[in-house]
Structure 1
Amino acid sequence: MKQNIYDVREWDRFLIPYTQTVEELKVKFKSIRNGYREVSEYSPIEFITGRVKKVSSILEKSKRYDIPFDQIKDQMEDIAGIRIMCQLLDDIYVVVDHIRERDGHDFEIVYEKDYIHDYKDSGYRSYHMVIRYPVQTAFGLENVLAEIQIRTLAMNFWATIEHSLNYKYRQNIPEGIRKRLQQAAIAVWSLDNEMLQIKDEIMQAQALFEANSNIIRSITDQLQLIKTLGNSEIAAQLQAKFDQILDLSSNEQLEVLLEEIQSHIPKIEEL
């Protein structure tokens, strides 16, 4: 990074590989989630977000930690940030294993920090992984440091509130509010552990929901195909059956209907 910290164009160019890294990593992790869902299995990943740190935040952190401007690229690990949210505590470590399996392939793990069990005094819990990601930009290859945070939905809710309060009070949250946050963190940990006790039921419910969604998508696609082929009468009859079964929420009947719809298509195509 050059010394002219006020040149907007320099910052725009400096942040290009970070922006690209965030977008590429989001695609990779979403593809893992979608892979589970495509085969109607429970996904350890609920959703993914990403962000590139604002220039003002980069400058503030470089000042706070005494990072020279020409060392920002090598010493600031969270300019590119990915956050992966999970439903259950166990899911966090499944995701961690997925990331470890890719170490040395499409990125390199620099280090890991388990704040789940070794939580911060504030009550903050999350699993952090810093990776070095090679990204090919319009200006050449860059090896970018990126931080991945993996946490439950409940942990993320707590962390978002704490972040907002830290911003409001400039990292100096009043003691009374700080104690309430710590109590809330204990409640979040208790909630996550309670949800873990009904893990099997949650996973079965999610798998059933995904299976139902996949069948419905297949039926609507096939009905549209029949309409496109020009047999509106059969399409209307099958649509009426579909509407009736939807009210019953029966996967078994939906599967039977899908087979019936699929059996009509070759006959219609022959006409």
Structure 2
Amino acid sequence: MSNWDVFLAPYKQAVEELKIKLKGIREQYQMSSKHTPIEFVTGRVKPISSILDKAKRKNIPLDCLQDEMQDLAGVRIVCQFVEDIETIVQLIRSRSDFEIIEERDYIMDKKPSGYRSYHLVLWYPVQTIVGEKKILVELQVRTLAMNFWATIEHSLNYKYSGEIPEDVKDRLQRAAEAAFKLDEEMSQIRDEVKEAQRIIIRKQEEQGKT
């Protein structure tokens, strides 16, 4: 790859545009006083060192990256409740400004490690000075508990170069089940939580008027 900056520029643009659009959805929910399914949105372009590591591991030639590496650009939507994930996925499916080419449900079908998340792979059109360029973007949707667990797992994978000791793996799997149990428990009281949040918002609005 002769010029990484030029190659990755459209991916950075796609991440920023999607973050703005998704945060816009969140703000619309907040202004409508409805429960917002989106807690926060993050995004990143994969670092060059990680791209090279994955390309080597997966046997992907560098001139095939744009077609064969789906997560060069990644956007993550984090929500409060498991039920919010389906709401978000339906919102994404209803949009016409990009095309969904693949969906992977790691919530119903978790990974052996215990990882849970819902993944969508998009063909996202970026407008450049030489015309439209469609690029692959991976969109992840998960709860706060799933995100906390995945962040820890990612750190341990980095520490152990992908070879996490068996005893640590076992503890991670137990932690994953505990995180999912927390999600299930929170779902049981979500109506109470939503009502509490509405009361807080109303009080803040009333204080803002005085």
Q: Report the TM-score, using the length of structure 2 for normalisation.
A: 0.97
Q: For the residues of structure 2 that align with 1:127 and 1:70, how far apart are their CA atoms?
A: 29
AA at the equivalent of 2:187 = L
The match for 1:194 is 185
Q: For the residues of structure 2 that align with 1:210 and 1:171, how far apart are their CA atoms?
A: 44
The match for 2:98 is 107
The match for 1:30 is 23
Q: Which runs of 5+ in 1 are unaligned?
A: 220-241, 243-271
Q: Which has the larger radius of gyration?
A: 1
> Identical aligned pairs, as a percentage?
56
The match for 1:49 is 42
AA at the equivalent of 2:37 = P
AA at the equivalent of 2:38 = I
Q: Deviation per CA, 1:157-196, whole angstroms, max 9, x where unpaired?
A: 0000000000000000001101000010010011000000
Deviation at 1:214, TM superposition (A): 3.5
Q: Deviation per CA, 1:49-108, whole angstroms, max 9, x where unpaired?
A: 000001111111111111111110011100110000000010011000000111xx1000
Secondary structure in structure 1 of the residue aligned to 2:172: helix
Q: CA RMSD in A?
A: 1.1
Q: For the residues of structure 1 that align with 2:200 and 2:191, how far apart are their CA atoms?
A: 14
The match for 1:145 is 136
Kindly indicate which of the two structures has a greater share of residues assigned to strand: 2
The match for 2:161 is 170
Q: For the residues of structure 2 that align with 1:212 and 1:130, how far apart are their CA atoms?
A: 40
AA at the equivalent of 1:208 = I
AA at the equivalent of 1:23 = E
Correspondences of 1:204-215 after superposition (within 5 Å): 204-215=195-206
- Asked whether 1:16 is paired with 2:29, we answer no
Q: Which runs of 5+ in 2 are unaligned?
A: none
AA at the equivalent of 2:118 = Y
- The answer to which structure, 1 or 2, has the higher relative contact order (CA under 8 A, 6+ apart) is 2
Kindly indicate which of the two structures has a greater share of residues assigned to helix: 1
Correspondences of 1:1-271 after superposition (within 5 Å): 5=1, 7=2, 10-102=3-95, 105-217=96-208, 219=209, 242=210
Q: Report the TM-score, using the length of structure 1 for normalisation.
A: 0.75
